[in-house]
Each structure stands twice: as C-alpha cells, then as structure tokens.
A and B are shown apart, each in its own frame.
Chain A
Amino acid sequence: MVNVMDLVEEEFIYPGTRACAGCAMALIYRIALKALGPKTIITVPASCLTVLHGMQGFCTTKVSVLHTPFMTTAASASGIVASLEEKGLADEISVVAFAGDGGTTDIGIQSLSGAAERGTNFIYACYDNEAYMNTGVQRSGSTPLGAFSTTTPGGKKSHKKNMPKILEAHGIPYVATANGSYPLDIYEKFQKARKIKGTKYLHILSPCPPGWGFPPKDTIKIGRLAVQTGFWPMYEVINGKYFLSKDSQKYLDPSKRKPIEDYLKTQKRFDKITREEIKNYKQYIDDQWTEIRKRVENY
C-alpha cells in the first residue's frame, strides 16, 4: 500500500482549472496523472473533463491531451496506440482514455467494447459522476435508482448499469473500481494498470457537488459514505481473480456497513426517493456483497 509520502511531488495539471469547487473528478485526474507520469498521452471525449482543460491554445496539463468526439474515446485511444505501435513507441508511452459515465456506459460503450475485445494496449478510466453533468445533469445509464436528474425529475426508475462487470466479461487483464475519496488507492491502481499489457479498465466514483446537490466541502465525506454503506465496493479483478481493496474489506461484514439512508440523505438528488426504493437499495447492496463473498480471493 502506498502512503502519502510515496506520491510524486510533481503536479501534471497546472493550477486554476475550470472544474467546480469540490469536484472529485479534478482530484481523480490529478492523482491519476501523478501515477502515470510524463510518458503518457491522454484522450478525452466531450464531458466535464473537456471543460477542465480550459480553452484552445493553452494546455492545462503537462502531458498531451487529444480531445475527441463524444462516442469515440476508446477508438481514439486505439488510433494513438496503433500509431505508436507503427513507430515502435508503444512500450514507452502509456495511452490513457479518460471519460465520464455517459461517455462510457452510454454513447461510448460500443467503441470501448470493440477496443477491449481487440485487446488494445491502453488504460480506460471512467470517472462516474452518475449523470451527464457537462450538459446540465441529465440521466445516464450510470445514474442510480431514485436519483433526480433534469430528465428524471421524479427520480430514476432503474439501477445503474454495472459497467465494470461488462468490462470483466470481455476477459481483459485488469478491471478495478475506485473512489475519489481514496486518492492513495487510485494512485496505486493507476500505477498497477500502467505496468500491465492489454486493456485496463478503471471505474471511479466521482461525487459532484452541483449535480448531486451537496456543498463542495462534503465531497470527500460523501464519497466515503458510498463505500461505508456498502453501495460502492472497491475491488480489482486481475486476470479473472477478484480482490477486495483494503478500504472496502471490512464491509464484507454487514454489521460494519452504515445504513444506506446515511448516504442518500446527504444529497438533494435523492429528496424524492420512496420507501420502496430504499428497500430495493438494501436488497441491491446485500446481493452485491453476497456475490463478492463468493468471489473474493483475499478473504
């Protein structure tokens, strides 16, 4: 396990980005770039992350970033990888696609599936703020049950899509979940992913103050509650073997989990959630952990 002192001191994002105050995505990106280092090329689709990069002519990162149309993230990464392979540079430079949940679970799922099936040598990172934030909080395939969005004004009627599982089904060597409130875990996972050949997928929960309806100061607390309630288990699947990450291990014991209400009530988007939906959440979490218990190797 890395500790704070192990993090490289160098920053790869210049100060003063266009992300909102309290944005977990900005934190995730900052930590990921530290873990990836200077020999990295990033590609980014339309999303809040595009906006973070600021305006034409001024690059806010110390590594190159190729912006690409919304549904092309993994295809764009495939193009960079193919060109690097042609030039014999593929082992030297890491190619990393960084996209939102909409860009990943909805419009970009086809190109991601194709790239994973081809075994493209790249890291795909999805920061999951659980809606289309950049365009004004519309629902995505990753919006959770009961959550308000501008296109689900009465709350969403279905659970979020389990994207990491879909990627796992592609038989890729590395799938991991993470959470903006656990930066050291993020750092470690990106470092690990960088060293593996093939397609690596990281899915990172990314609390969003304006989209979820909470004050910017609470970002870290809310991300932690997602883990502490058992809603967001953090794990890695390495060559098909399932490992619970350190900060999630103790929630295998149901008595250690906080009630889901503690998480839901911190965010305005769940204001209209029904009792039925809360019951549904409890079942969802229980089922999730039953499956984890069956699979987990480090227990």
Chain B
Amino acid sequence: MNVPMKTVKNKRIKIITGNHAAAHAFRQAKVGVVAAYPITPQSPVVEKISEFVEKGKLNAKFVMVESEHSAAAVCCAASATGSRVGTATSSHGLELMYELLPWAAGNRLPIVINLATRALGAPWSVWTDHQDFITIRDVGWIQMFCEDNQEIYDTNIQAFKIAEDPRVFIPAIVAYDGYILSHTLMPMKLENQKDIDEFLPPLKHHINLSDISQVKGIDPVTTPHVIKRAEGTAPGYYEYRYALQKALENSIEIIINVHDEYAEKFGRAYGNGLFKTFKTKDADMIIFAMGSVASQARVAIKKLREKGLKIGLLSLKLFRPFPAKYLREYFKDFKNIIVFDRDIGYGFEGVLSYELKAALYGLKNSPFIKGFIVGLGGRDVTNEHIINGVYKGLEASKKGEITHDTEFLGLKLEELDFLKQEDNKNG
C-alpha cells in the first residue's frame, strides 16, 4: 500500500537530528528500562534519553553501564523481568554486544536497538558504512534500515510493535547512517502521545520474572535431545532454534501489517514496509541499495534520466528476515540489477549483492546482477560513482559477464605511492 506523504502545517513538526528522532521515539514508546554506553556517532541518543528521564518526560530507569556488553546484558535481564527496553549503539559498541545478540533472540526478548552505523576498525574510523549492521546478520534479529529522520522515528515505533507481537517475540535493530542522518537536522513530525499509545499498547511479555508467583528457570542448559519426564516434555536446543527461524520467516507478514496499520493511522508509508521503490515502472535497470546509498541513488537517477537512461531504485528497508519471496516477485520482470554495497562479505562480494543473487536463484529469465562496493569508512558516495557504476553495469550486462569479483568505486589509488610500486613490480 502506498499512502502519499501529507503536507502538514503543524506544531508537531520539529527540526531534529536522526539521533534525536530515535530518542523521541523511545520516549513516546514509553520504554521502561534503557541501558546504554556512549559511542560516536550514537551518543546523542543516550544523552537525549538521559535528559528526558531527568526532566521527568520519560518514566524509565536509565542504567549508566560500564560497557556495551553490559548494556546489552542489562537490556536482556530487564526484558526478561517484563519491561519494555531499548538501547542505541554504533560499530565497536555493537560488536561488543555481540555475545548477547543471539542470546536475546534465543530467549525471544523484544528489545529494540538503534544503530547509527559506523565502520569497524582497524584502522579507526568514526564515519559510516554498513559493515556493523551487516556483521550481525546471523544472530536472529529483525534488521531494518532507514533513509531519513522521519523514517527513523516511525520505524522505531513500529519496531516495538513488531518485536512484541506474540507471534514474533524477536528483538529488532533499527539502523541509519552515522552522521549522514544521525547528526543532520531535518523537519519531521512527532505524533500525539495519545495516538502513539493507541497504536502501541503496553508490552504483554511471554516472560516476566517480576511475577514471583510463577517460578521459572530461564535459559539453563539444553541437550541435543527432547527431554521426556513425568513432569512433561521439554524441547531440545534444535527445537528452540527451529521456532526462532520459523517466527522470523513468518514475521514478514506481521511487519507488513504493522507498517500498513501505521501508514493508515499516521499517513506515512515506506513502500510496502519491506522495500521502497523509485521510478521503477519503465526502468531498464534497477539499482538495489540501502540507507545513504539508496538516498544518493535517487539523486543520481534524476541525472541519469536526464541523459535518457531509464534507471529505477529499490531501497531495501527490511534486511532480516530477508524478504526473498517479495524480491523475487518484484524483480521477475526486470532484466538488469545493479547493487551498491556499503559493506563487504569479506573474501566474497558485497553482502546485498550476493544475497540478492541467492534470493533470485532459479527465477525464469533471472535478471543480470552486478555488484559494486562503495563508500567504506565514510568515503562520499557521489552521483558520479553511481552513474559510473550504472554505465559499467550496462556494459557488463551486454557482454553477459557474470563475475563475483569485487569492484570498488571512488577509490583514489592513483594518488597513492603504493600503486606506483605495484606498477613497478608488474614491470
């Protein structure tokens, strides 16, 4: 469903950063426990939340932990005790949380994390790419990406509703490009608290340690087997993980429904809730990208169309669960796809590129797909790079060159000595 963006003259329009959009969403979602640790470029999220708590605008317990590992552990335990919880982080912070991420998924805790994306060291970089987001691909979370500040706010509210759906109970991560969105002021609408409350009722958790009349042993050792005893039958690890995978697969329908319900109520939609398309109707080639790269592609596409090239865009919003079925359906009539990854599946290709190839495997007349790497560590992704990629992609498509070799756009090797050394070596 596509609901047009309303143009509103309204007091509820605020000019705020992406980080503050996330913080306002937490305030209006009435999170009960927040535990966080500062890291650039996410820090303003937790600073803003602290301010809300201190001013009494958010009735939450804010645990000022000593590391992101502990932030995630506090979130897990507070969620298991029945509170709505969330945190925010970036890059190294997310990597430090890693141990708790599959734990939260296995325990089916509806935690929401905001991620202001940032490159992973070494060497140090505080600027954006999507490697942190991509690296937690296999932990069993719902992973969503945003393209503007309004989307950050809207997606957060939806993320709680999705994660807390009794058919789901899976944690969710909402990502947006560090600095590009995290620190950029944009006008956006904060909804009425009453309307948000209607949309997002209080959490009814499946685990609640605070109810001491119900004695529970949560997450002790499981065996490889199902255990049968006089008291009952208990699943093995395998069954728990099966349940998680199936819940993730089935969550796509719920993600769409929650998105549509939100769009209906608040008048803002993001494509079908899984991906957003732009000028695809007559397109000869579709660009497949996420976040800042997709935003840049929108601008580049206008330039390309001025040159007579019919290019469109599919901007991926839901990365996990990967909406393969919907992508297959959407792409079945297209001939050419070009993927721009702001990440690498090191040792193979850009991750979006190979995942899309996998998703379209076996399609009749499957489209030609070529991937490029762009913008690691905050290197600007420019129109020129996108346009250059499109031309290269069209050429490769004509030749039918199918390759998994990575090609980086926007490298400045010619300005570096080591390239000369390479040339010398090659004689």
Tell me if chain B binds chain A: yes
Query: A114 near B: Cβ within 8 Å?
Result: yes
Of the listed stretches A2-10, A63-71, A246-254, A259-267, chain B binds A63-71
Query: B286 near A: Cβ within 8 Å?
Result: no
Min Cβ gap A99→B in Å is: 13
A83 and B61 within 8 A (CB): yes
Of the listed stretches A38-46, A155-163, A165-173, A290-298, chain B binds A38-46
Min Cβ gap A100→B in Å is: 15
Min Cβ gap B169→A in Å is: 17
B78 and A82 within 8 A (CB): yes
- Name the 3 nearest CB pairs between A and B, nearest first: A57-B234, A79-B77, A114-B66
- Tell which of B74, B210, B222 touches A75, judged by Cβ atoms closer than 8 Å: B74
A56 and B35 within 8 A (CB): no
Query: A20 near B: Cβ within 8 Å?
Result: no
B217 and A53 within 8 A (CB): yes
Of the listed stretches B15-23, B42-50, B225-233, B275-283, chain A binds B225-233
CB-CB nearest in chain B for A59: B217
Query: A87 near B: Cβ within 8 Å?
Result: yes
B223 and A79 within 8 A (CB): no
Min Cβ gap A68→B in Å is: 6
9 A-B residue pairings within 8 Å (CB atoms): A53-B217, A75-B69, A76-B76, A77-B77, A79-B63, A79-B73, A84-B81, A93-B212, A113-B66
List which B271-320 residues lie within 8 A (CB) of chain A.
none
List which B79-122 residues lie within 8 A (CB) of chain A.
79-83, 85, 99-100, 103
Query: A111 near B: Cβ within 8 Å?
Result: yes
B23-38 to A contact mask, C-beta < 8 Å, 1/0? 0000000001101000
B217 and A61 within 8 A (CB): yes
A82 and B74 within 8 A (CB): yes
- Tell which of B73, B85, B215, B227 touches A62, judged by Cβ atoms closer than 8 Å: B215
- Tell which of A58, A61, A79 touches B33, judged by Cβ atoms closer than 8 Å: A79
From known contacts A78-B70, A114-B66, infer whether A60 and B217 are also in contact, taking CB-CB under 8 Å.
yes
- Tell which of A77, A84, A93, A114 touches B65, judged by Cβ atoms closer than 8 Å: A114
B227 and A72 within 8 A (CB): no
How far does the alpha carbon of A67 sit from the alpha carbon of B221 in the complex, in Å?
A: 9
B219 and A82 within 8 A (CB): no
B99 and A69 within 8 A (CB): yes
Not counting A64-B214, A66-B218, A79-B75, a sample of 19 additional A-B residue pairs whose C-beta atoms are within 8 angstroms of each other reads: A40-B212, A50-B220, A53-B220, A56-B222, A58-B217, A59-B215, A64-B217, A65-B217, A68-B103, A72-B70, A75-B69, A78-B63, A79-B63, A79-B74, A80-B77, A80-B81, A82-B35, A83-B83, A114-B70
Query: B412 near A: Cβ within 8 Å?
Result: no
How far does the alpha carbon of A86 sit from the alpha carbon of B202 in the complex, in Å?
A: 14
A82-105 to B contact mask, C-beta < 8 Å, 1/0? 111111010001000000000000
Q: Tell me the A residues contacting B by CB distance below 8 Å.
A: 38-41, 43, 50-51, 53-69, 71-72, 74-80, 82-87, 89, 93, 110-111, 113-114, 117-118
CB-CB nearest in chain B for A39: B212
Cβ–Cβ < 8 Å partners of B63 in chain A: 78-79, 82, 118
B220 and A80 within 8 A (CB): no
From known contacts A71-B69, A111-B69, A113-B66, infer whether A83 and B217 are also in contact, taking CB-CB under 8 Å.
no
Interface-central residue, A40, A86, A114, by most chain B CB under 10 Å: A86
Min Cβ gap A80→B in Å is: 5
B78 and A83 within 8 A (CB): yes
Cβ–Cβ < 8 Å partners of A61 in chain B: 215, 217
How far does the alpha carbon of A51 sit from the alpha carbon of B85 in the complex, in Å?
A: 29
How far does the alpha carbon of A114 sit from the alpha carbon of B73 in the complex, in Å?
A: 13
CB-CB nearest in chain A for B82: A83
A56 and B220 within 8 A (CB): yes
Min Cβ gap A232→B in Å is: 30
Cβ–Cβ < 8 Å partners of B345 in chain A: none
A111 and B66 within 8 A (CB): yes
How far does the alpha carbon of A93 sit from the alpha carbon of B209 in the complex, in Å?
A: 11
Cβ–Cβ < 8 Å partners of A77 in chain B: 77
